[in-house]
Structure formats: C-alpha cells, structure tokens
Amino acid sequence: IMCGIIGIASNKPVSINIINSLKKLEYRGYDSAGLATLNNNFIDEKKCSGRVVELEKILFKSPSNGNIGIGHVRWATHGVPNIINAHPHSSEEVSVVHNGIIENSDELKKDLEGQGFKFKSQTDTEVITVLVTKLLQNSKPLESVFKTLKKLKGSFALGIIFRNYSDIIIGARRGSPLAVGYSNEENYLGSDSYALKSMTNKISYLDDGELCVLTKNNVEFYDVNKKKINKKIYTVSDDENISDKGDYKNFMSKEIFEQSETIKKCLSEYTDSLKKDINIYNFPIEPKKINKIILIGCGTAYHSCLVAKYWLEELTTIDAEIDIASEFRYRNLKFNSNNLYIFVSQSGETADTAAALDICKKNNVKTCSIVNVVESTIARNSDWVLPIHAGPEIGVASTKAFLGQLIVLYILALKLSTIRGDTDKKIYSINLNNLKKLPEAIKNTFKLESEIQLIAKEFLDAKGSMFLGRGNSFPIALEGALKLKELSYLHAEGYPAGEMKHGPLALIEEGLPVIVIAPKDKYYEKTLSNTQEVIARGGKIFFITDNNKRLLSTNIRFRLKVPHVDNLLSPLLLTIPLQLLAYHVALLKNCDIDKPRNLAKSVTVE
Ligand code: M6R
C-alpha cells in the first residue's frame, strides 16, 4: 500500500491535527482514509472510503478526544478501496497504519488463521496487527514490534499505538520513508516532513531497519539490532509559496502559471551574472574523467532524462544513456567508476528510483540526484544533489518540476561542456545568455491559453490522440501524451514523428487529433513531411511551433506559435501548451485535476 502516515503524541487532543496532516498527505493516496486515537484505554478508530473530507465529517459528528493517535491515507494495492480495507487496522489491543507492501502476507495470514486468529480485511497490513497483538500476550510493545518485523518480508513504514500503553507510538521503517518531528510537549511521525511542516520544522529521518518510540516529551531511536541510537535533527527549509492555491482553481493551474517564476528562481540559484558562469562545483567525478552519464527516472522525470540525453550529446563529448528506474534496477548492468549516475525525481521518494540508486551505491559508483525535495531519501542517499528549487508541487501531474528538472539538466550539460573544453568560451557565454530570456518567454507562452481552450473542445469526443515530435521535441511529445492521459483519461500516444510509418500510422483516421511539435530546428522539414503523411490519412493537426512563417497547407486545424528561443531551450516552451491542453481537456471533462483517478503524487511502492 502506497500511502501517507501520520502519528501524534501530545498533551492535548490530536484528531484535528491528524486530519490537517492527512490533507497534506493526500498527494500520496486518496482512495480511503482513517485515524485511531487512544481514549481511556480504548482504541477509537474512524475510517471512510474516499477523501479526508469524508473523515472530517465523521469526526465532526462523533469527535475523537485522545491525546495520542495515528492517521492514514491510502492508495490501494491489496484489496479494493473500501472502509474495511482502509487503515488503521486495529485489534482490541493495537492499531496499525502502514505504507508499503508485506510480500509474505498470504503465508503469514494462513499460519495465523491456523492458530485461530481472525482477519477482517483483504489487506496485507492486517497481519501486522494480528502478529503484534499475539506477541503482546508475552512481551512489551517494543519487543513485540521487533519480533513482528523479523517475520515480515517487503517494504514498510509503520505507525502503531497500543491500548494498554497509552503514551507511546512506535514507528518503524524498512524501504518506505518515515520522518520524526519534534515540538514542545508534542512529537510526530510522518511519511514526509511536508506533512509535519505546519507543526514543526525540526525533523529526523529513520533509516532502513530503524525503529522509534515516541511519547509527547521524548523520542528514542533503535537500530536493527535493538541498540539505542542518536539521530541527527534537521531544520527543514521554510518555503514561502507552500501549499496555498491562492486565486487559482486548483494546484495544477497555479503550478503551471508559476513556471516563469520557478525557472527564474532556479536560474538565479545556479547562474552567477557577475562572473558570467554557472555555480556548480564539487563534481563527484572530475568532469574531464567522466566517461558516460546514465540518467534514470520514472514518468515525467524520465522524460526530462530523455531531453537531457539530446543536450549532453549536443553540448558535450560525454556519452549519455537513459533508463526507466523500474527497468534499470533489475538489469544485469556493468558498472563503471568513471560513469556518473544521475537520478531525477521530483519527490525524491519514488521507490523504483531510490532502489536504482541503492544498486549504484552497492556497486560503488558516483551518484547525483536532481530533486525538488532536498530532504528526501534520494537526495540524502546520493553523493551529489542538485535541487530544482521549484517549491512544493502538489498537483499529482508534474508540471513545474518537469521544467525545473529540464533547466538543471541543461545547466549541468552546459557547465560540463565548458569545464571539459567541449565548447569554446564564446558559445558558452552565448548559451548562458540565452537562459536569461527564458522566464519572459515562458510568461509569453501563457498567452496561448485562450486558443488552447478552443483546442481542448476538439479533444472531448475523440477516440484517442497522437503527439509527435522529433529530436528534443520527441520527449516533449511523450510528456504531452502522458499529461493528457493522466489528467483527462483520454488515450494518447507520444511518438517520434519519423516512426509513424512503421506502424502507428494505421491508427490515423478521419478527425483523429494529432499534435505536432515542430520548432524550427534541424528536423523541421522532416517533421513537416511526417505531418503531411498524417494529413493525407485524415488526421486533424494541431501544429505547435516557434516558426513565424505560416504554412501554406490549409489542412492544419490549428497552429500555436510559442516564442522563439534557442533550439536547445525550445523543449521548455513547447511543454507549456501541452500542460495547458491536458489541463483544459480535464477541466471540460470535469475530472479531478489535482488528484487524477488511480494515481498518487509520490510512488513509494515498486
Ligand atoms: O517524484 P518523481 O519525480 O520521482 O515521480 C516520478 C513519476 O511518478 C511522476 O513524474 C509521474 O509520472 C507524474 N504523475 C507525471 O505527471
């Protein structure tokens, strides 16, 4: 189960703060929610299917008064999203919230059922509840949890409360992230620091195998061998433009229109206008010795890796490879200490990406992470971190993080090109100068919104759609298709335009919407020919370009003109109309923009 966890031990009732934190954690899962507090030696459990607001309504009618409690938002894997399968999973003695997957739950359940224990839900989590309950008959809470963990295979972050030990919460981590927060007469457990931010900025992170015992006044940590340990306390950054939609209808639209500012901020972090240079130092491998760069990510982050491959090839003499993290982690790879492995992730918590990073660490190669959340697992585990400075991204569909990842990858490629002497000084300074124009150009691209609203209508009844591009516009086609799929549930395919004739052209029929992304680069004429092939088969073309010249063909249904920037940077601008298109189609279809069905913001299961 990929989900959000919260736990609060306090000297006052905790349910309202649990609800508020769960709202923040909804980006991790939102098909059901629940909480349990301890009230006069009774576990008061409340659950609902659907969103946290439903849980809030239940609490409103029947308040929970306990000073200690745990809460959960769920993204279902084992068992349908209903009230019974929602967390916490409680017995009379204990209540458990869990993020992760217990791989041997079937085996354990069979064994426990054989001993006469009964199960209520279809989840893997309930075996933890039953095991701890059973072990509590002969041991204290800490001991029962340790013994339980020994029996579990898989990944988890856990929060557990105990009827007869009304002042403690036990937390444990193996694979799934877990943070601890500190405050006055109040301590917290959370899936991430973001969920705790309104209550504290003092945070520690559990490492794999560790366990913690929280009371309102104290937190104790134990390693996998039950030895007491000390943990470092971090002060997490205080982002100004945190989780507030302002005047926007939803987070996604806010995050799209913020992009001129987030890119400006990121540029100011990485460029030194006085020295006319890029502020990137301390490479984990001496840049001239880098043999190959391998870029790894999932979903949108993978698309930014794809764009970066074109940039590295164009700007440097370094070989570049890309990989999807869930594939990388299981391949039989040959590691090389002169290769730099770059992990791209908005959340920094994506399980597949984190596992791929672990494999690199085990093979003693140098790693870099490009993340938005600098306190994240991936950031903490890599040798070198390049933050994208985009501020919290709440919408499940990634938008400003994509542009942030692109700009950092571009800056990195540019810096490598100059230190290695792959580009001469003059071109370096022209390329640097080109960056300055980006924020304004992004702002001007937003002006296309009213045209895009018209285009969106043409997608409403479409059977499907295609997104085509060549060169560094090909990954943008993939990203445009992904955005449309996840937001509007409309089938969309992204393809390299030149590949259409090898199969996908068969999909083209009268009126099928086809987005062609065609900046005036070296592929332009080729893309035009591919466009004609689609037109000849009845495809309805929406042509996105930075070329001022109008095309003669009347068969193009719509032409969107983005501002012209250097060809290397055009992917950043060409992405924006596609984000807006997906957004407006979803809006017309009345879809849940910030929380598309079946998805979650941070994918912490593999
Ligand atoms: O947090 P990450 O960047 O590692 O997440 C990777 C993907 O799960 C993410 O980009 C996903 O594809 C988005 N929903 C796309 O909009």
pTM score over 0.75? yes
> How many angstroms separate the alpha carbon of residue 1 from the centre of ligand 1?
17
| Antiparallel, parallel or unpaired: β 366-371 and 384-387 | parallel
Say whether pLDDT at 243 is over 70. Answer: no
Helix (H, G, I), strand (E, B) or coil at 606: coil
Residue nearest to atom 8 of ligand 1 (CA): 299
- Which residue, 107, 124, 179, 99, is CA-closest to 606? 99
Q: Please name the residue ranges forming H helices in 137-272.
A: 141-151, 193-196, 251-257, 259-270
User: Poorest-confidence range of 145-149, 188-192, 311-315?
Assistant: 188-192
The predicted-structure confidence for 112-135, as pLDDT tens digits, reads as follows 999 999 999 999 999 999 999 999
> How many angstroms separate the alpha carbon of residue 515 from the centre of ligand 1?
22
Whether a cis peptide bond, with omega within 30° of 0, leads into 88 is: yes
**CA 480 – CA 495 distance, rounded (Å):** 11
The pLDDT assigned to 239 comes to 57
Say whether pLDDT at 97 is over 90. Answer: yes
Pocket test for ligand 1, best of 251, 298, 353 (most atoms within 8 A of CB): 298
Average pLDDT of the segment spanning 48-62: 95
CB atoms within 10 A of CB 220: 16
**Between 448 and 604, whose confidence is greater?**
448
Confidence bin at 605 (pLDDT 50/70/90): confident
Question: Tell me, what DSSP letter sits at residue 499?
Answer: G
Average pLDDT of the segment spanning 285-291: 96
> Which residues are tagged catalytic?
3, 601
> How many angstroms separate the alpha carbon of residue 501 from the centre of ligand 1?
30
Please identify, by atom number, the ligand 1 atom nearest to the C-alpha of residue 346.
3
Pocket test for ligand 1, best of 328, 350, 372, 373 (most atoms within 8 A of CB): 350
270-295 burial, b for 16+ CB within 10 Å, e for fewer? bbeeeeeebebeebebebeebeebbb
Query: What lines the ligand 1 site, CB under 6 Å?
Result: 298-301, 345-347, 350, 353, 396-398, 482, 486, 599, 602-603
For 27-185, strand residue ranges (E) read 32-38, 43-49, 68-74, 89-90, 94-102, 154-162, 165-174, 179-183
> How many angstroms separate the alpha carbon of residue 135 from the centre of ligand 1?
39
> How many angstroms separate the alpha carbon of residue 299 from the centre of ligand 1?
5
The pLDDT assigned to 24 comes to 84
The pLDDT assigned to 157 comes to 93
H/E stretch holding 351 reads: helix 351-362
The pLDDT assigned to 1 comes to 41
Please identify, by atom number, the ligand 1 atom nearest to the C-alpha of residue 601.
14
> How many angstroms separate the alpha carbon of residue 90 from the centre of ligand 1?
32
Residue nearest to atom 7 of ligand 1 (CA): 299
> How many angstroms separate the alpha carbon of residue 398 from the centre of ligand 1?
6
CB atoms within 10 A of CB 171: 27
> How many angstroms separate the alpha carbon of residue 484 from the centre of ligand 1?
14
The predicted-structure confidence for 470-497, as pLDDT tens digits, reads as follows 999 999 999 999 999 999 999 999 999 9
Confidence bin at 247 (pLDDT 50/70/90): confident
The predicted-structure confidence for 540-573, as pLDDT tens digits, reads as follows 999 999 998 876 665 788 899 999 999 999 999 9
Say whether pLDDT at 603 is over 60. Answer: yes
Q: Please name the residue ranges forming H helices in 32-190.
A: 52-61, 105-114, 126-136, 141-151
Instruction: Copy the structure tokens of residue 584.
Output: 């407006």
> How many angstroms separate the alpha carbon of residue 250 from the centre of ligand 1?
18
Pocket test for ligand 1, best of 305, 406, 489, 603 (most atoms within 8 A of CB): 603
The predicted-structure confidence for 222-242, as pLDDT tens digits, reads as follows 999 999 999 999 887 665 445
Please, how many CA atoms are within 13 Å of residue 257, restricted to the half-sphere of its CB?
14
Q: Quick one: what percent of the chain has pLDDT higher than 90? A: 81
Provide Rg for the chain, Cα atoms: 26
The pLDDT assigned to 478 comes to 98
> How many angstroms separate the alpha carbon of residue 457 from the centre of ligand 1?
27
- Which residue, 581, 570, 565, is CA-closest to 480? 581
229 touches 222 (CB < 8 A): yes
**Between 79 and 59, whose confidence is greater?**
59
- How does the average pLDDT of the chain come out, rounded? 93
